Each structure stands twice: as C-alpha cells, then as structure tokens.
Amino acid sequence: MNVTTLTLWQAATGADGSMMWIMLIAMFAIMYFFMIRPQNKKQKEIANFRKSLQVNQKVITAGGIHGTIKEVNDSDVILEIASNVKIRIDKNSIFAAAADANAQAAK
C-alpha cells in the first residue's frame, strides 16, 4: 500500500467509526422492538393462561389433542379426550382454549 491510500483509509474509517456504532445500536433497537419484545409479551400471556386453567375448560394441547380438563395439579393436568378416556399431560403442553382457537379459525 502506498502512503496516500493508507492515509485515505484511516481518514475514512475514523469518520465512519462513530456512524458504525450508531447504526449498530439502531439495528439492536429495531430488533428489540419488533422481535424480542413481542415474543416476551406473548410468552407472558401464555404463562398467565396456564396459571388460570380451570376444571371443565375445553383446551387444545401443543400436539393438537382437544379435550376437557378434569383435574388440575401443580405441574400436570388430567384431560378427558373422549368418554371415560383420560390422559395426564404436562401443564406446559396446553396450548390454547378451544373457544379461542375456534374464534380465530372463523376469522
């Protein structure tokens, strides 16, 4: 490299160094407000829904099983999926209330 090219390169990177940091911070802020924050909000809604599960509530599991809650424990739920057919599932696998899912499907 000759001296002129090196001097021009140093001048260009010195002026753009602060601009690079501003752009980097702006990109992080955009990612936070459009990706991270909505995802955290959705996770809180799901956690609150799982805490408020009640007996005789119709729900859908993450695997797509529709059923009615017959018993709620600390970490699991007894779900009736047909007459006298009950399964025990983890509370974290409850996905949504069946009424909410049906309302969204009708839209």
What are the angstrom distances between the C-alpha of 94 and each of 30, 65, 66? 32, 9, 10
* Helices (H), ranges, the chain: 3-31, 37-51, 98-106
pTM for the structure as a whole: 0.63
Mean pLDDT across the stretch 81-98? Answer: 91
Residue 63: both structure tokens together: 């695997």
Q: Is the pLDDT of residue 15 over 70?
A: no
- What type of residue is 55? V
What are the angstrom distances between the C-alpha of 86 and each of 36, 69, 70, 79, 83? 37, 9, 8, 5, 8
What is the C-alpha separation between 33 and 38, in angstroms, rounded?
7
**pLDDT tens string 25-84:** 999 999 999 999 999 999 999 889 999 999 999 999 989 999 999 999 988 999 999 999
